[in-house]
Amino acid sequence: DTGVSQDPRHKITKRGQNVTFRCDPISEHNRLYWYRQTLGQGPEFLTYFQNEAQLEKSRLLSDRFSAERPKGSFSTLEIQRTEQGDSAMYLCASSLAVHTEGYGYTFGSGTRLTVV
Amino acid sequence: AQSVTQPDIHITVSEGASLELRCNYSYGATPYLFWYVQSPGQGLQLLLKYFSGDTLVQGIKGFEAEFKRSQSSFNLRKPSVHWSDAAEYFCAVGAGHTDKLIFGTGTRLQVFP
């Protein structure tokens, strides 16, 4: 297993366009998280999946954002009608449940979104 | 509400010097605590984590951290810094049943030869 993969690494889009990012977690991890990181800040939680169920969404996740994890494997994060304020690094992470052996997050390298 | 404070935005040390990065947290229950390192344009790499037990935790790359409940702190230390340690360091607390991470704003470490 090569870890958590995110695609694309970089995305430049015009304001108002829709974008979709993909995350492939570590195969045996049942938990998947999306975070957003703006320049000079720590990552901020966006949403969380346990298997295919989306169990928590942050207030940061406006109606323009939607995330899915069909079949509990890879996940997609879509942003509709992008705004300049959406420019950020979008990080995906996966983990086992906390009380299991080897618990710990593994982060992907992120997708950097620039809205022009 | 849960929060993490990293009071030092930027720290500069000479190679070979010792290092301590400060982290204070606010969390009602026993926290799960983490330190991550991030190189420019990269994702986050886990340095070490604390769940319970021994309050002095050893991590990768020669780092260690000490959990002090009375001070609500989880400071990161390294006895001798290498130039390759220059990066951004984030402290985080695991919160709630989902174990989402609450991050501090980070400390940028610069290492001079």
Average pLDDT of chain A, as a whole number: 91
pLDDT, residue A60, reads: 82
User: How confident is the prediction along chain B (113 residues), in pLDDT tens digits per residue?
Assistant: 789 999 999 999 999 999 999 999 998 777 889 999 999 878 899 999 888 888 999 999 999 999 999 999 999 999 999 999 999 999 999 876 667 899 999 999 999 98
- pLDDT single digits (tens) A47-82: 999 999 999 999 888 899 999 999 889 999 999 999
- Which among A4, A41, A107 has CB closest to B105? A41
pLDDT, residue A15, reads: 97
As to burial, measured by CB atoms within 10 angstroms (0-12 exposed, 13-18 middle, 19+ buried), residue B79 is exposed
Best of B100, B103, B105, B108 to substitute, by most chain A Cβ atoms within 10 angstroms, is: B100
